[in-house]
Amino acid sequence: MRKAWGEKGFIKTLLGLGLLVAIIFVGVTFARPYYRYYQFGSHTRDYLKTDIGDVNAIRKHMLEDAAELGVPLNDQDLTVSVDTVKKRVMVKATWTDTVDLLGQYQKDIDFVLEEEW
Protein backbone atom coordinates (compact mmCIF):
# COMPACT_ATOMS: atom_id res chain seq x y z
CA MET A 1 0.00 0.00 0.00
CA ARG A 2 1.33 3.41 -1.00
CA LYS A 3 1.32 6.30 1.41
CA ALA A 4 0.28 9.81 0.47
CA TRP A 5 2.76 12.72 0.48
CA GLY A 6 1.61 14.18 3.79
CA GLU A 7 1.54 10.99 5.83
CA LYS A 8 5.30 10.84 6.45
CA GLY A 9 5.57 14.53 7.38
CA PHE A 10 6.91 15.79 4.05
CA ILE A 11 4.80 18.96 4.09
CA LYS A 12 5.67 19.69 7.72
CA THR A 13 9.38 19.25 6.97
CA LEU A 14 9.15 21.45 3.88
CA LEU A 15 7.37 24.21 5.80
CA GLY A 16 9.89 23.93 8.64
CA LEU A 17 12.81 24.30 6.23
CA GLY A 18 11.11 27.25 4.54
CA LEU A 19 10.63 28.94 7.91
CA LEU A 20 14.25 28.27 8.84
CA VAL A 21 15.48 29.81 5.56
CA ALA A 22 13.25 32.86 6.11
CA ILE A 23 14.57 33.37 9.65
CA ILE A 24 18.18 33.10 8.47
CA PHE A 25 17.51 35.58 5.63
CA VAL A 26 15.95 38.15 7.99
CA GLY A 27 18.76 37.67 10.50
CA VAL A 28 21.49 38.20 7.91
CA THR A 29 19.68 41.22 6.46
CA PHE A 30 19.37 42.90 9.85
CA ALA A 31 22.92 41.93 10.91
CA ARG A 32 24.67 43.70 8.01
CA PRO A 33 24.29 47.29 9.31
CA TYR A 34 25.44 46.25 12.78
CA TYR A 35 28.45 44.47 11.33
CA ARG A 36 29.37 47.61 9.36
CA TYR A 37 28.98 49.67 12.56
CA TYR A 38 31.38 47.46 14.52
CA GLN A 39 33.83 47.26 11.64
CA PHE A 40 33.78 51.06 11.19
CA GLY A 41 34.34 51.50 14.94
CA SER A 42 37.30 49.13 14.83
CA HIS A 43 38.86 51.00 11.90
CA THR A 44 38.33 54.29 13.73
CA ARG A 45 39.99 53.06 16.94
CA ASP A 46 42.95 51.69 14.99
CA TYR A 47 43.40 54.95 13.10
CA LEU A 48 43.13 57.07 16.25
CA LYS A 49 45.91 55.03 17.84
CA THR A 50 48.29 55.78 14.97
CA ASP A 51 47.55 59.39 14.00
CA ILE A 52 46.58 61.55 16.96
CA GLY A 53 46.22 65.29 16.52
CA ASP A 54 45.61 65.89 12.82
CA VAL A 55 41.87 66.61 12.68
CA ASN A 56 41.68 66.95 8.88
CA ALA A 57 43.52 63.67 8.28
CA ILE A 58 41.27 61.84 10.75
CA ARG A 59 38.12 63.31 9.16
CA LYS A 60 39.30 62.46 5.64
CA HIS A 61 40.29 58.91 6.61
CA MET A 62 36.99 58.26 8.41
CA LEU A 63 34.92 59.49 5.46
CA GLU A 64 36.94 57.29 3.09
CA ASP A 65 36.47 54.28 5.39
CA ALA A 66 32.75 54.96 5.64
CA ALA A 67 32.41 55.08 1.86
CA GLU A 68 34.46 51.88 1.49
CA LEU A 69 32.37 50.00 4.06
CA GLY A 70 29.05 51.29 2.73
CA VAL A 71 28.24 53.37 5.83
CA PRO A 72 25.99 56.32 4.83
CA LEU A 73 28.02 58.96 6.71
CA ASN A 74 27.89 62.63 5.68
CA ASP A 75 30.48 65.28 6.48
CA GLN A 76 27.91 67.12 8.62
CA ASP A 77 27.35 64.03 10.78
CA LEU A 78 31.02 63.66 11.70
CA THR A 79 32.64 65.60 14.55
CA VAL A 80 36.37 65.37 15.28
CA SER A 81 37.82 67.40 18.14
CA VAL A 82 41.16 67.54 19.90
CA ASP A 83 41.58 68.32 23.60
CA THR A 84 45.15 69.59 23.91
CA VAL A 85 45.01 69.78 27.72
CA LYS A 86 44.13 66.08 28.18
CA LYS A 87 45.84 65.10 24.93
CA ARG A 88 42.72 63.33 23.66
CA VAL A 89 41.04 63.06 20.29
CA MET A 90 37.27 62.66 20.33
CA VAL A 91 35.28 61.44 17.35
CA LYS A 92 31.50 61.33 17.10
CA ALA A 93 29.66 60.07 14.04
CA THR A 94 25.92 59.61 13.62
CA TRP A 95 24.06 58.05 10.72
CA THR A 96 20.89 56.19 9.83
CA ASP A 97 20.96 52.95 7.90
CA THR A 98 17.86 51.50 6.26
CA VAL A 99 17.16 47.78 6.17
CA ASP A 100 14.93 46.73 3.28
CA LEU A 101 13.26 43.32 3.26
CA LEU A 102 12.37 42.60 -0.36
CA GLY A 103 10.75 46.02 -0.80
CA GLN A 104 7.91 45.10 1.57
CA TYR A 105 9.31 46.30 4.89
CA GLN A 106 11.78 49.10 5.58
CA LYS A 107 13.33 49.76 9.00
CA ASP A 108 15.58 52.72 9.85
CA ILE A 109 18.33 52.01 12.37
CA ASP A 110 20.15 54.93 14.00
CA PHE A 111 23.82 54.53 14.89
CA VAL A 112 26.04 56.71 17.09
CA LEU A 113 29.78 56.07 17.11
CA GLU A 114 31.75 57.80 19.87
CA GLU A 115 35.44 57.06 20.16
CA GLU A 116 38.11 58.71 22.26
CA TRP A 117 41.82 58.12 22.29
In a domain, 3, yes or no: no
Work out the number of other CB atoms within 10 angstroms of the CB of residue 81: 12
What pTM does this model have?
0.79
Of the candidates 14, 33, 19, 117, the one whose C-alpha atom is nearest the C-alpha of residue 71 is 33
2, part of any domain: no
For the stretch 2-18, pLDDT in tens is 666 556 778 888 899 99
Q: Where are the beta strands (DSSP E) in the chain?
A: 78-83, 88-101, 105-116
Domain count, the chain: 1
Show the domain range for 95: 8-116
pLDDT tens digits, 23-76: 999 999 999 999 999 999 999 999 888 876 678 888 999 999 999 999 999 999
> What is the reported pLDDT for 39?
95
Evaluate whether residue 86 is within a structural domain.
Answer: yes
The answer to whether position 111 is within a domain reads yes
Instruction: Let me know if residue 1 belongs to a domain.
Output: no
